[in-house]
Amino acid sequence: MTQLFHRGRRLRRTPELRALVRETPPLLREDLIMPYFVVETDDVSFRKPIPSMPGQFQLSLAQLEEQVARAVDTGLTSVLLFGLPATKDPMARAAYAENGIVQQAVRCLKKRCPNLVVITDVCLCEYMSHGHCGILSPDGQVKNDETLPLLAMTAVSHAQAGADMVAPSDMMDGRVAAIREALDEKGFRQTPVLSYAVKYASSFYGPFRDAAESAPAKGDRKSYQMDPGNAREALIEAVADIEEGADAIIVKPAGPYGDILRTVRDTVDVPVFAYQVSGEYTMIRAAGLNGWINEDAVMMESLLGLKRAGAGGIITYFAEALLKKDLVR
């Protein structure tokens, strides 16, 4: 009898056959980057749960050191650091202070875990009294070119502290060029810039703004972050940042922007990372904690989806848990 239809089930019959023909390689521990929130405080035991991100904490320097060292013992290879300064002002001075909290954290972690890849988020919103990512003019506009030197100083201060990579997330135009030039001038030619080139103005960042205490006091970030309706613009942003000197780029958020990740991956040749952001984490966590979904399975599937869409590395708040539960190789 002639075969009249496709028998896709032939190759799905056993786990071994399915593994043999699987297109996407399994997640590796070195694919994962774990974000941390470090707080400038004298209270060494400070460890505050973030209510909208169950399982995540704001940590003192000492707590961060211990938690990261334990994660490294389970196989963590990279971290991304966010700082919560003791004081904020309209020029974000604590962002580029030599002894700022991120700068301290970098020194501490590089000393404790020399092989750990320490990446720093370069942005001003956590350090600005008004919570915007740049200098604010009296009429409420975020000033672009005036902000660039502050971002460059911040990146240089992170490199001076020993950061392995700096990751600008502010979305000011021209900041990669400004940061690259400043790094080179100060002798940090070997410090890569991992640019959040494709960053959307997303409501999925909500829990993060609780975690980093960085919500804008007034207005939103729509005049500098990308409009969620735009896909072609992602390529313009990616190419612009690469031309300015970005060594690798980030697409953010990740899951709801899988189409963007795929298009960017197919268009540029630098490494492309996906950032599974706070809201994506929290939705999976919350449903899991309620017993509504199989959390581990959904978490793995969400990350597989990002790899399938073309992500090289993945920044995810699940990184520590994945390693602890032995879910990656």
Closer to ligand PBG by Cβ: residue 16 or 122: 122
Closer to ligand PBG by Cβ: residue 133 or 165: 133
- From the list 242, 240, 221, the residue with the least C-alpha distance to 232 is 240
Closer to ligand PBG by Cβ: residue 82 or 188: 82
Minimum distance of ligand PBG from residue 16's CB (angstroms): 37
- From the list 274, 270, 197, the residue with the least C-alpha distance to 238 is 197
Residues 6+ apart with CB under 8 A from 310: 261, 262, 264, 265, 266, 272
Minimum distance of ligand PBG from residue 251's CB (angstroms): 13
Instruction: Name the active-site residue from 186, 199, 218, 325.
Output: 199
Q: Which single residue brings its beta carbon nearest to ligand PBG?
A: 208
Minimum distance of ligand PBG from residue 61's CB (angstroms): 20
Sign for the CA dihedral angle at 84, 285, 67, 106 comes to negative
- Catalytic: 199? yes
* Cβ(168)–Cβ(151) below 8 Å: yes
Residues 6+ apart with CB under 8 A from 250: 167, 169, 194, 195, 196, 197, 198, 199, 272, 273, 274, 275, 315
DSSP state, residue 33: E
Minimum distance of ligand PBG from residue 209's CB (angstroms): 6
Minimum distance of ligand PBG from residue 189's CB (angstroms): 25
Closer to ligand PBG by Cβ: residue 93 or 186: 93
Instruction: Name the active-site residue from 88, 252, 324, 325.
Output: 252
State the Cα–Cα distance between residues 64 and 70, nearest whole angstrom. Answer: 10
- Catalytic: 222? no
State the Cα–Cα distance between residues 112 and 47, nearest whole angstrom. Answer: 20
Binding positions for ligand PBG, rule: CB under 6 A: 121, 123, 125, 133, 169, 205, 208-209, 221, 277-278
* Cβ(24)–Cβ(325) below 8 Å: no
- What is the set of active-site residues? 199, 252
